[in-house]
Amino acid sequence: MSALLTLDRLNVALPEGADRAHALSDVSLEIAANEILCVVGESGSGKSMTANAIMGLLPGGVTLAGGRILFEGRDLAAMSEPEMRALRGAGIAMIFQEPMTALNPLRTIGDQIGEMFVIHTALPRKEIGRRVLALLEEVRIPQPAQAAKAYPHELSGGQRQRAMIAMALALDPKVLIADEPTTALDVTTQAQILTLIRDLQKRKGTAVLFITHDFGVVAEIADRVAVMQHGVVVEHGTAAQVLDDPRHPYTRQLIAAVPPLSAPPPRPLSPEVVLSIAHVTKTFRTGGFLGRGARVTHAVKDVSLTLPRGSTLGIVGESGSGKSTLARCIVRLVSPESGAITLQGRDLLQLDANAMRAERRKVQMVFQDPFASLNPRRKAGELVAQGLVEHGTPRAEALARARELFGLVGLDPLAVDRFPHEFSGGQRQRIGLARALALKPEVLVADEPVSALDVSVQAQVLRLLADLQQRLGLSIVFITHDLRVAAQICDRIAVMKDGEVVEQGLAGAVFGAPQQPYTKALLAAIPGPKIGGPVLIPTAAEAI
Amino acid sequence: MRLLSLVGRRLAASIPTLLLILIGLFLLLQFAPGDTVDAMMAQMGGGDAATAKSLREFYGLDLSVSAQLGNYLWRLARFDLGFSSIYGKPVLTVIAERLPATLLLMGAALSFAFFFGLVFGVIAARGVNKWPDTLISTLGLIFYATPSFWFGLMAIVVFSIYLQWLPAGGLEDITVMQTGLWRTLDIARHLILPTLTLGLIYLAIYLRIMRASMLEVLNLDFVRTARAKGLDDTRVVIKHVLRNALLPMVTLIGLQAGTMLGGSVVVESVFSLPGLGRLAYESVVQRDLNTLLGIVFASALVVIAVNLAVDIAYARLDPRITTGV
Amino acid sequence: MEVVRRYARSPAAVFGIVLLVAVVAMAASAGWLFPRDPLSLAGRPLIWPFQNPRFPLGTDNSGRDIAAQIFYGARISLLIGLVATAIAIAIGIVIGALAGFYGGTVDTVLMRVTEAFQTLPNFLLLLVLVAVFGSTLTTVTIAIGVVSWPAPARLTRAEFLSLRNREFVQAAQTLGLKDAKLIFGEILPNALPSVIVYASVVMAVAILLESALAFLKLSDPNVASWGNLIGLGRDVLRVQWYVSAIPGIAILVTVLAVSLVGQGLNDALNPRLKGR
């Protein structure tokens, strides 16, 4: 095999005071023309640092500390900055995770793609314009002429990523580095972008270094795979070898933590409905002075759902589907215009502010962002005790209860005196859970509670949630964009699109025999459908 | 079209602001000891109570406060600012005579501060924590802490008294009649020190904001994209960073238009410039409340106009500004 | 204590605190070093500095001791600076918090008022206030506080707007906390560091405003103020420029000290901005 790009025992040193000395230790990789190498790892594995090292764009304080980066026989590590500049974009191009922030908001798409030619070629302006259009057509952007004149904020996320790809491929680079290019996108858009990258790569014979955390994406796109952990490549081989027959325990653990795309056998559901949502509608009006130029967004349109006691209702959908707004309506952070949300026979929407405050303890919420959802200036124990104190429990008693709850969610009860920033992401999510459980709620609303977590941590938190449901008889509304997660934990599933519920039913039925075209499309878009470990959540019988 | 509706909306929004200011000030001035008639009587060298009463009736000062307020607003709507008893002219005329000098001074100081603030901010940010940055930032701090009137006085001592390079005050040399280019040059010479004096603190503010803004933008993702495209540092700054970093600077101009106008009161007094600021000072000293109110009205209009210009500039710089917000 | 350590790491911040302590020491020792009224006649007028050991900084046009006026002036500047800042920050926090927390109509109304205040040139408003209410120490201090609140109000509002929809505030709301507790217990402590840092800017401006007012002879004439002295020195600027120069340096040093301390606090309280 003739490698186009070779990393030969590459070392990258972190600045003093970092949690480890090396971002990369003896990383050796090879990429040949016309193949896709996926580098997989969790956060902190050094996979993005590998890309930065190749591009010669290491962040301040981070330095190359040995090894070679060979591209077409030349060592990039030893290259001067002007030589390196001539190579960036032309020889090795790169696309990034977040296409909104990766594009300059003040310049048009066409201008930014054209800049590639301005830097590296002497083409006349008119020819550049023609090439930009051809590129935009090649990445299949709708209405390429308009898109060239548009500013980044005027395009959708998927279109922006297409524009980024057009820009990266402008000069037919030998190597394309893609750093989590689909992570910020919805699952259907992700599927389209993956197909596009695969197609263009085949057609042009580009070598692609594809960085991702998602084994589904790996299964979809990789020819070969390298698995990284703490700056070390722990396993590499062909996609088939690594996915079907992983050798390294870390790889096995990672693949086992990926939730399989099939629901466990259904559990019996209680006939008692603890929460029912009937014809709830919420509209947002933004902007507009004296009513002019106002934009109206129908976030939730006439949604009706029921939650049987002790079960989990999954609400799934892509961004903008209204699922998060619906969650906030249930806990009354947002007040819907019409409809009824009935908890144990009482319509919450009819309550005044004081009555609602008293009722709040019955519906609690777990939030998505483990960093933003805890007040950084309060101790963890205080955060958990806060709700109890507010509802009349004496302070000392509430703090004692907080310690018990810490034990319940698998945290050290002595950790109540620490501040949130002293915990890891998964631990913070446990604190958030303890805070919600402190008030012994009837219903727990969980808004993307595991989306910000690495896959192995995600599995632990999901298991905890299922376990607590068993022990406390919790009724859960579980909001997620991740259908794999939904399949594992939910008894019933409601699929939302543009503010409406398009399909609902038992998890097994929705995943096994979807009725609506949108649900089918959503399921078809999930990358690597066959990938996945064993069923995460044991059924009731096994648990006991 | 986008700009036009922006302008319309901004103007409409400034009307309540203006009303609020005028009503507030009018009511505030009701607390003032003595009214226009008192000031006039003092000017005339005293008079009897009957004259005062008839004068008050003539000016409508015997009416209820709300009726007076109504009259006042109605007169303002017709740009009738009343009569200055001290200057013996309509307030509008007095202000019109004084406004050009102030606008000239403000424009000059703003351009000076903006241009050099931009340049020094960029230089400081590009060599962050190296000696040019340290020097520029230190000077910025010192300029910020310097009282403008004191700087003006010291500049007069050095440049006018000892070196005799520049005139110590006035807008132009009135001992010789000059026209055309020579007059322009003469005025420019007279404005050098006042411009430096008024602009100094804004120079300090702008360079600090520009530096911070550059550093922030340099950390954004699209700058990494630009580097990954193969752009060199200078081009990254010119093509991608500068325009983004300018946005907070432009916002700041609007926010500080009022402060700058206030600063001109002091600077005009130091350099005996015949501007609005000194007029304000004189009318406070001479208790000419009618004129003072007129000046406040005029300055509010100036500030609103500057803010409108800033909004337009911002909308041209940033395509994300839509008519909706 | 982490904050103190981070603060002490910056030489500029330490220098600022040293300057500030020096100014405070001047204010504190004024009565002890110069037991006589600083505005009383002390000797021959217009003695240059370093000429007569009794008057190390010389005397002004009417024979008053400049050194004594500088020391007593520190009291006035610090007093006016602190009180006016406290007034401005208090008004600013209340207005900004209400506007940012409740949004909607409350926000619109409060922001219109704030805008009105910002549209008025602050120094002009100060002139009007002094013209109406007179220029005693109390009225001048209150007036400076009243013209200085819009900027802190805007800052507080911006902080509240961004914190209002953070998940931790929503979490506290779902726990059933009352609005007052959300505002003062959850949001304000997180917004406060920025506001405290900004208070140094307000204080610097307040000191400059008072000195400008005094320079124009519109502040309280019965107290020894640095601005008064500069205004007085203006009449003899051609030859005895030191009468104006010396108090100007005192103002510069004080404002510089306040700014440096503010900047040091900013780096210490908001560590994410550090290292740039």
* Helix B131-145 vs helix B91-126: crossing angle, to nearest 10: 160
pLDDT at A39 over 90: yes
Mean pLDDT value across residues B32-53: 70
A64-103 residues labelled b (16+ CB within 10 A) or e (exposed):
beebbbbbeeeebbebeeeebbebbbbbbbbbbbbbebbb
Name chain C contacts of B128, Cβ cutoff 8 Å: 276
- Determine the residue of chain B that is closest to A112 in CA distance: B226
Which structure tokens are listed for B208? 């600090």
> Contact C126/B262, CB-based, under 8 Å?
yes
Name chain C contacts of B17, Cβ cutoff 8 Å: 112, 115-116, 119
Give which of C167, C182, C190 to mutate to test A binding, by max A Cβ within 10 Å. Answer: C167
Q: Which of C169, C178, C190 sits opposite A377 (nearest CB)?
A: C190
Mean pLDDT value across residues A233-245: 92
Q: State pLDDT tens for residues C129-168.
A: 888 888 899 999 999 999 999 999 999 999 999 898 889 9
- Asked whether C93 and C195 are in contact (CB, 8 A), the reply is yes
Mean pLDDT value across residues B182-191: 85
Q: Is the dihedral of CA B86, B89, B29, B302 positive or negative?
A: negative
> Contact A287/B325, CB-based, under 8 Å?
yes
What is the percent of chain C with per-residue pLDDT over 70, rounded to a whole number? 98
pLDDT at A382 over 80: yes
> Contact C259/B25, CB-based, under 8 Å?
no
Residue A177 CA to residue B225 CA, distance in Å, equals 12
Work out the mean pLDDT of chain A and round it to a whole number. Answer: 89
Name chain A contacts of B222, Cβ cutoff 8 Å: 101-105
pLDDT attached to residue B36: 65
- DSSP bridge partners of A342: A276, A347
Residue C250: which of C88, C77, C63, C86 has the closest Cα? C77
Residue B252: which of A338, C154, A180, A457 has the closest Cα? C154
Which phi and psi angles does A64 have, rounded to 5°? -70, 135
Give which of A106, A108, A113, A153 to mutate to test B binding, by max B Cβ within 10 Å. Answer: A106
Interchain CB contact of C166 with A (< 8 Å): yes
Instruction: Write out the H or E segment, with its range, that includes residue A208.
Output: strand A207-212
Where residue B17 falls among pLDDT bands split at 50, 70, 90?
confident
The neighbours of chain B, by the rule of 3 or more Cβ pairs under 8 Å, are A, C
Nearest Cα of chain B lies from the Cα of A83 at a distance, in angstroms, of 10
- Determine the residue of chain B that is closest to A88 in CA distance: B230
- Asked whether A99 and A184 are in contact (CB, 8 A), the reply is yes
Interchain CB contact of C174 with A (< 8 Å): yes
- Asked whether C162 and C172 are in contact (CB, 8 A), the reply is no
Longest CA–CA span in chain C (Å) reads 74
> Contact A387/C175, CB-based, under 8 Å?
yes
Q: Which of A374, A376, A386 sits opposite C175 (nearest CB)?
A: A386
Burial class (CB in 10 A: 0-12, 13-18, 19+), A385: buried
Under DSSP, is residue A538 helix (H, G, I), strand (E, B) or coil?
Answer: coil
Q: Which of A93, A94, A101 sits opposite B220 (nearest CB)?
A: A101
- The radius of gyration computed from the CA coordinates of chain C, to the nearest angstrom, equals 22
The neighbours of chain A, by the rule of 3 or more Cβ pairs under 8 Å, are B, C
Q: Which of C167, C172, C189 sits opposite A386 (nearest CB)?
A: C172
> Contact A386/C166, CB-based, under 8 Å?
no
Q: State pLDDT tens for residues B222-279.
A: 999 999 999 998 899 999 999 999 999 998 888 888 889 889 999 999 998 899 988 9
pLDDT attached to residue A542: 41
Where residue C193 falls among pLDDT bands split at 50, 70, 90?
confident
Mean pLDDT value across residues A286-305: 71
Chains A & B: contacts with CB separation below 8 Å: 81
Name chain C contacts of B287, Cβ cutoff 8 Å: 131
Q: Which of C167, C175, C190 sits opposite A369 (nearest CB)?
A: C167
Q: State pLDDT tens for residues A119-128.
A: 999 999 999 9
Give which of B15, B153, B213 to mutate to test C binding, by max C Cβ within 10 Å. Answer: B153
Give which of C135, C208, C258 to mutate to test B binding, by max B Cβ within 10 Å. Answer: C208
Residue A237 CA to residue A37 CA, distance in Å, equals 10
pLDDT attached to residue B40: 67
- Determine the residue of chain A that is closest to B318 in CA distance: A106
- Asked whether A113 and A163 are in contact (CB, 8 A), the reply is yes
Poorest-confidence range of A96-100, A433-437, A446-450? A96-100
Interchain CB contact of B17 with C (< 8 Å): yes
Number of helices followed by number of strands (H, E) in chain B: 13, 2
pLDDT at C270 over 80: no
Q: State pLDDT tens for residues B159-180.
A: 888 888 888 877 777 777 777 7
- Determine the residue of chain C that is closest to B211 in CA distance: C276
> Contact C122/B147, CB-based, under 8 Å?
no
Residue B28 CA to residue B32 CA, distance in Å, equals 7
pLDDT attached to residue B322: 58
pLDDT attached to residue C53: 79
> Contact A105/B222, CB-based, under 8 Å?
yes
Interchain CB contact of C173 with A (< 8 Å): yes
pLDDT attached to residue A537: 60
pLDDT at B33 over 80: no
> Contact C171/A435, CB-based, under 8 Å?
yes
Nearest Cα of chain C lies from the Cα of B212 at a distance, in angstroms, of 10
Residue B283: which of B87, B149, B46, B61 has the closest Cα? B87
pLDDT at A292 over 70: no
pLDDT attached to residue B43: 65
Residue A140 CA to residue A149 CA, distance in Å, equals 16
- Determine the residue of chain A that is closest to B320 in CA distance: A153
pLDDT attached to residue A287: 55
Interchain CB contact of C5 with A (< 8 Å): no
Residue A476 CA to residue A331 CA, distance in Å, equals 12
Burial class (CB in 10 A: 0-12, 13-18, 19+), B179: exposed
- Determine the residue of chain B that is closest to A176 in CA distance: B228
pLDDT attached to residue C273: 44
Residue A99 CA to residue A181 CA, distance in Å, equals 8
pLDDT at C9 over 60: yes
Mean pLDDT value across residues A176-197: 91
Where residue A1 falls among pLDDT bands split at 50, 70, 90?
low
Given the cut 0.85, state whether the ipTM is greater than it.
yes
Mean pLDDT value across residues C44-70: 81
Name chain A contacts of B229, Cβ cutoff 8 Å: 88-89, 93, 115-116, 119, 167
> Contact C174/A360, CB-based, under 8 Å?
yes
Mean pLDDT value across residues B117-137: 89
Q: State pLDDT tens for residues B203-228.
A: 999 999 999 999 999 988 999 999 99
Residue B270 CA to residue B258 CA, distance in Å, equals 19
Q: Hey, which residues 203-222 in chain C have their CB within 8 Å of chain B?
A: 204, 208, 211-212, 215-216, 218
pLDDT attached to residue C168: 93
Mean pLDDT value across residues A471-476: 91
> Contact C118/B289, CB-based, under 8 Å?
no
Give which of C162, C166, C175, C270 to mutate to test A binding, by max A Cβ within 10 Å. Answer: C175
Where residue B46 falls among pLDDT bands split at 50, 70, 90?
low
> Contact C252/B304, CB-based, under 8 Å?
no
Name chain C contacts of B14, Cβ cutoff 8 Å: 119
Q: What is the DSSP string of C98-132?
A: HHHHH-HHHHHHHHHHHHHHHHS-HHHHHHHHHHH
Nearest Cα of chain C lies from the Cα of B188 at a distance, in angstroms, of 24
Nearest Cα of chain B lies from the Cα of A219 at a distance, in angstroms, of 28
Q: State pLDDT tens for residues A299-337.
A: 899 999 999 999 999 999 998 899 999 999 999 898 898
Nearest Cα of chain B lies from the Cα of C124 at a distance, in angstroms, of 6
Where residue C272 falls among pLDDT bands split at 50, 70, 90?
low
